Structure 1
Amino acid sequence: MADVRYPSVHAMPSDKPSQKYHASCHCQLVRYTVTLSPPLHDIESWVVECNCSICARNGYLNVYVQNDCIQFETVGLESELVEKYRFGKQRVQHYFCSRCGSSLMAESIEPGFYEGVKALNVRMFHDVDVRTLQRREVDGRSL
């Protein structure tokens, strides 16, 4: 796998193909849809396998998307039903379902560092076989 220092960000589609994905935590308390352009099966699309301690331990496979690509169907991230966690340099906030513990996504809380972007755990996406996705390693330990 190639080492990529900073992952690319999916934006709302313009003239490129896109696909809408349904996602949720295990218990369905937190449900949302995500529009990715390009779609996950596209040759230009890949997921991030980060080596930081939380991503490695939880097996995250992330895609980075602009906030306007995500629509919450049930509770949002500000709900008391969603747990928040920060560690290390306190640059990134991680979100988990308070009921089932699913690792949903993360976002930077540092101005200028991936502002307006969320790192979504593709393992929460419905009907996506993660074994078929192109992966790129990111050295998150050093960020």
Structure 2
Amino acid sequence: MATAKPSKKYHASCHCQLVRYSVTLSPTLDDLDSWVVECNCSICARNGYLNVYVQNDCIEFETVGLESELVEKYTFGKHRVQHYFCSRCGSSLMAESLEPGFYEGVKALNVRMFQDVDVRTLQRRQVDGRSL
């Protein structure tokens, strides 16, 4: 019988703290089986996204949620993915699919928003989003 990986709650926010949330990850970011996605598409490369893909029910918003007028939304290209930014400081928070059946029920969280995480130590998986 396989044992379950430990989980950890991470606290995250935009730069100005307007949007604050927490996420529970298993495996944890320091686990050898854990990695973050570094995509080369135009928006991920320009904003420096390092994403983890998380089920929506693992995310708890502590302040304003994504439907607030204080959160800006942006799509481009084929408009399959919606990106979320803080309207006050411009931090790149996360993204989610708008297309049914394409990463449904999952958000791509930018680990750079997580508190007390040294992104230099994270294992990265390169993804060729530019070609999609």
TM-score by length of 2: 0.97
What CA distance in whole angstroms lies between the structure 2 residues aligned with 1:15 and 1:40?
A: 15
1:138 aligns with 2:127: yes
Residue in 1 aligned with 2:5? 16
Residue in 2 aligned with 1:7? none
What CA distance in whole angstroms lies between the structure 2 residues aligned with 1:122 and 1:46?
A: 11
- Which residue of 46, 62, 68 maps to 1:73? 62
- Which residue of 34, 39, 43 maps to 1:54? 43
Residue in 1 aligned with 2:24? 35
CA RMSD of aligned residues (A): 0.9
Residue in 1 aligned with 2:53? 64
Q: Secondary structure, in 3 states, of the residue corresponding to 2:112?
A: helix
What CA distance in whole angstroms lies between the structure 2 residues aligned with 1:86 and 1:68?
A: 23
Q: Secondary structure, in 3 states, of the residue corresponding to 2:126?
A: strand
Q: Secondary structure, in 3 states, of the residue corresponding to 1:95?
A: strand
Residue in 1 aligned with 2:82? 93
Q: Give unmatched runs, 5+ long, in structure 1.
A: 1-13
Deviations 1:13-46 (A, max 9, x none): x932111000000000000000000000000000
1:124 aligns with 2:113: yes
Number of matched residues?
130
Q: Which amino acid aligns with 1:33?
A: S
Q: CA deviation at 1:124?
A: 0.1
Q: Give unmatched runs, 5+ long, in structure 2.
A: none
Q: CA deviation at 1:141?
A: 1.6
Moved over 6 A (4+): none
Residue in 2 aligned with 1:6? none
What CA distance in whole angstroms lies between the structure 2 residues aligned with 1:118 and 1:52?
A: 17
TM-score by length of 1: 0.89
Residue in 2 aligned with 1:113? 102
- Which residue of 80, 83, 86 maps to 2:72? 83
Q: Which amino acid aligns with 1:74?
A: T
What CA distance in whole angstroms lies between the structure 1 residues aligned with 2:99 and 2:11?
A: 28
Q: Which amino acid aligns with 1:97?
A: C
Q: Secondary structure, in 3 states, of the residue corresponding to 1:55?
A: helix
Q: What is the percentage of aligned positions where both structures have the same residue?
A: 89
